[in-house]
Amino acid sequence: MNARAKIWLAAVGGILAALTVAAVFLPQSYRLAAICDFTDTLLLASGAASFIPLALQSRGRMRLFWSLIILGLTMWLCYQLAWTYNEVVLRRDVPELYAGDIVLFLDIVPLMAALALRPHASEDEYAGRLGRLDFALLLVWWLYLYVLIVIPWQYVQANIPAYNHDLDTLYLIEKLAYLAGLAACWVSSKGHWKKLYASLFGMSFTYVSSSTIANWAISRHAYYTGSVYDVPLACAMAWITWIGLTTRVDQSNADAVETSTVYSVWIARCGMIAVFTLPLFAVWTISDALIPPRIRLYRIVLTLGAAIVMGVMVFVRQHMLDRELIHLLNQSQESFDHLKRLQAQILQSERVASVGQLVGGAAHELNNPITAMLGYSDLLLSTSLNAEQRPLAAKIGQQVRRTKSLVASLISFARQTPAAKTPVDLNTLARTAVKLAQPQWEALQIGLHTDFDADLPKVLGDSNQLLQVCVQLLGNCLHLMDESGTTILSVSTRREQGIALLEISTPSTPAENCAPAGRTTEVVTDADDGFSACQGILQEHHGQVSRRQREDGAICLRVELPTLEATAPRSQAATVPVLWQSEPFA
């Protein structure tokens, strides 16, 4: 508590002490009544003002909660100002049939509304809207009770004893209902909220009990303004300031409890009970023979009007509830559909995982004989073979290497584990792939021409996977060249608008752009199985591959990968699909 709050509380304590001394030692007089009225006014104004910073520093439902408390206290203050105006300024007693009594009766309604918000519990938007409508229904009901029971004795047919009796009884019922709501919130809350509700309950109980005692004293003609009966009332008013100054917004937002559907159900039931009481009040009005005819007619008409108003509110509430139920039903259906799709995806993933395990096991088993076949084919080439046997032996080694590359692709597919990506030099990968394929293109007597861009920026990726792509594409291109009889192969790299390009082409296809004149067709060979692994790898690297062949036999394989500086912005977009279509070279 800061120094200003301490000074504020000290001033409130001084005012309360002065009133107590005056009530004990001063006789009944105008001066004592003025001291009491001004003291009560200052205490109520102080209490309402102490909650203003809480409302200004809060948001949403919390601000509404504190604002409703301020509204209730302000209505109480207005009634006290009217009372002070009559006793101090006009120097007369408050009239027996006083129109301002409705303000005193309704000042508890905003406080009940604040409790209905349940700021100590989490609440969704729908529950908040529905709860506010339920409270509006109860508010109309309380107003109906006052206009039904109290107002007739004031304006329809004046009757002071009946007016005072019905007003005091109804006001006591309202205060007891408010105390019951405070007790329910006190029990269901925790932490700082429990302390806040306990303080509000203590203050309200003090006020209710002291006002009840004061009414008893009035009936015995023992009460006068400024008597000792006013001291407990002033204590309750001073307690309000202490509650407002000792509560903090950060504390009020903590210790929230989970919402319970029981509370919402009982609020709705209370609203329904309020509607069903209207016919009971109508029956009571008709059956009571002691009620004057004018009041009986007034109450019947009023009950009919209240039934129409509250019936409309119930209809609106049911309409909101139906819309919410339909919305929840649609959400449940969507969730069920999503669950079914997720289940299908899980089953498909399990199948793919099983196939991957099967493929991985088979590929590992094939590696041993393939390695042996490759060793024997190389050993055969190292022996003395005639001109007719050497090409055949070279083709055996070439096919074994292609099979080994395919098995490596299957193993990579079976792992299905994303590898860590690091900056990679595409030129180095291309040179390594050319070096690894050297026995193959030398055995086929194919010349190789390379043109690597020395300023080519690095790409972000897994070097082993990208090397596998380069070796696979180079081997496939050599296979196609062997079948077409082409004897020169060109491998080049270059940069183009944030893209690193690797192009493998034959001499009849210009390596600069892979776009010669003439019609192109898609290359379809037995090596397409190896390209599937290349497609998957390049998709993971946000790249793409295209393969073209012209009618004259020109071949172009083109790999595109984003450069390192372009990887960050491109990684935020969707994965670029692999191009595998029949288009002109581009």
Q: What is the pLDDT of residue 578?
A: 34
Q: Express as a percent the part of the chain with pLDDT over 90.
A: 20
pLDDT digits (tens, 9 = 90+) for 19-45: 999 999 999 899 999 999 999 999 999
Question: How many CB atoms within 10 Å of residue 335?
Answer: 10
Rounded Cα gap, residues 562 and 539, in angstroms: 11
Model confidence at 442: pLDDT above 90: no
Question: Where is pLDDT greater, at 82 or 367?
Answer: 82
Rounded Cα gap, residues 85 and 94, in angstroms: 9
Question: Where is pLDDT greater, at 126 or 586?
Answer: 126
DSSP structure string for 471-537: HHHHHHHHHHHHHHT--EEEEEEEEETTEEEEEEE-TTS-TTTS--SS-EE----TTHHHHHHHHHH
Model confidence at 160: pLDDT above 80: yes
Rounded Cα gap, residues 399 and 405, in angstroms: 10
Rounded Cα gap, residues 234 and 36, in angstroms: 9
Query: What helix, strand, coil percent values describe the chain, rounded to 5?
Result: 70, 10, 25
DSSP structure string for 118-166: -TTB---HHHHHHHHHHHHHHHHHHHHHHHHHTTIIIIIS--HHHHHHH
- Name, in order, each residue with C-beta under 8 angstroms of 166's C-beta and a sequence gap of 6 or more: 149, 150, 153
Question: Where is pLDDT greater, at 533 or 415?
Answer: 533
pLDDT digits (tens, 9 = 90+) for 55-91: 998 887 788 889 989 999 999 999 999 999 998 998 8
Residue 108 pairs in a beta bridge with none
Q: What is the pLDDT of residue 130?
A: 57
Under 8 Å between Cβ of 197 and 189 = yes
- Going by pLDDT thresholds of 50, 70 and 90, the confidence category of residue 525 is very low
**Helix (H/G/I), strand (E/B), else coil: 551:** coil
Q: What is the pLDDT of residue 577?
A: 35
Q: Express as a percent the part of the chain with pLDDT over 70.
A: 81
Report strand pairing: 459-461 vs 488-496: unpaired
Comparing 6-20, 162-176, 243-257, 389-403, the range with the smallest average pLDDT is 243-257
How far, CA to CA in Å, does 185 sit from each of 360, 442, 460? 64, 89, 60
DSSP structure string for 446-475: -EEEEE--TTPPPEEE-HHHHHHHHHHHHH
Sheet holding 488-496, edge to edge: 447-451, 488-496, 499-505, 555-562, 544-550, 520-521
Tokens of 415: 């792992």
Tokens 């159900």 belong to 265
Segment 424-436 shows an average pLDDT of 87
- Going by pLDDT thresholds of 50, 70 and 90, the confidence category of residue 128 is low
Under 8 Å between Cβ of 172 and 152 = no
Segment 450-463 shows an average pLDDT of 88
Segment 558-577 shows an average pLDDT of 61
- Going by pLDDT thresholds of 50, 70 and 90, the confidence category of residue 158 is confident
How far, CA to CA in Å, does 277 sit from each of 97, 142, 272, 280, 310? 27, 12, 9, 5, 11
**Helix (H/G/I), strand (E/B), else coil: 260:** coil
Question: Where is pLDDT greater, at 534 or 531?
Answer: 534
Under 8 Å between Cβ of 545 and 538 = yes
* Closest among 61, 74, 150 to 111, alpha carbons compared: 74
Segment 434-452 shows an average pLDDT of 82
Rounded Cα gap, residues 451 and 562, in angstroms: 20
Under 8 Å between Cβ of 226 and 27 = no
Segment 262-268 shows an average pLDDT of 54
**Helix (H/G/I), strand (E/B), else coil: 367:** helix
Under 8 Å between Cβ of 44 and 235 = no
Q: What is the pLDDT of residue 348?
A: 74
How far, CA to CA in Å, does 419 sit from each of 408, 409, 544? 16, 15, 18
- Going by pLDDT thresholds of 50, 70 and 90, the confidence category of residue 205 is very high
Comparing 165-169, 386-390, 426-430, 517-521, the range with the smallest average pLDDT is 517-521
Model confidence at 377: pLDDT above 90: no
What average pLDDT does the structure give for the chain? 79
Q: What is the pLDDT of residue 526?
A: 40
Under 8 Å between Cβ of 480 and 398 = no
Rounded Cα gap, residues 145 and 110, in angstroms: 16
Segment 219-227 shows an average pLDDT of 87
Segment 182-196 shows an average pLDDT of 86
- Name, in order, each residue with C-beta under 8 angstroms of 168's C-beta and a sequence gap of 6 or more: 215
Q: What is the pLDDT of residue 356?
A: 66
Rounded Cα gap, residues 523 and 400, in angstroms: 22
- Name, in order, each residue with C-beta under 8 angstroms of 291's C-beta and a sequence gap of 6 or more: 285, 299
**Which range scores top for mean pLDDT: 115-124, 360-369, 383-392?**
383-392
Comparing 231-235, 269-273, 288-292, 472-476, the range with the smallest average pLDDT is 269-273
- Going by pLDDT thresholds of 50, 70 and 90, the confidence category of residue 510 is very low
- Going by pLDDT thresholds of 50, 70 and 90, the confidence category of residue 516 is very low
Model confidence at 551: pLDDT above 70: no
Q: pTM for this one?
A: 0.56
Q: What is the pLDDT of residue 72?
A: 92
Q: What is the pLDDT of residue 52?
A: 93
Q: What is the pLDDT of residue 518?
A: 40
Rounded Cα gap, residues 21 and 18, in angstroms: 5
Tokens of 236: 């309750």
Segment 151-161 shows an average pLDDT of 88
Q: What is the pLDDT of residue 75?
A: 93
Tokens of 543: 């790249």
Comparing 128-132, 212-216, 341-345, 448-452, the range with the smallest average pLDDT is 128-132
**Helix (H/G/I), strand (E/B), else coil: 211:** helix
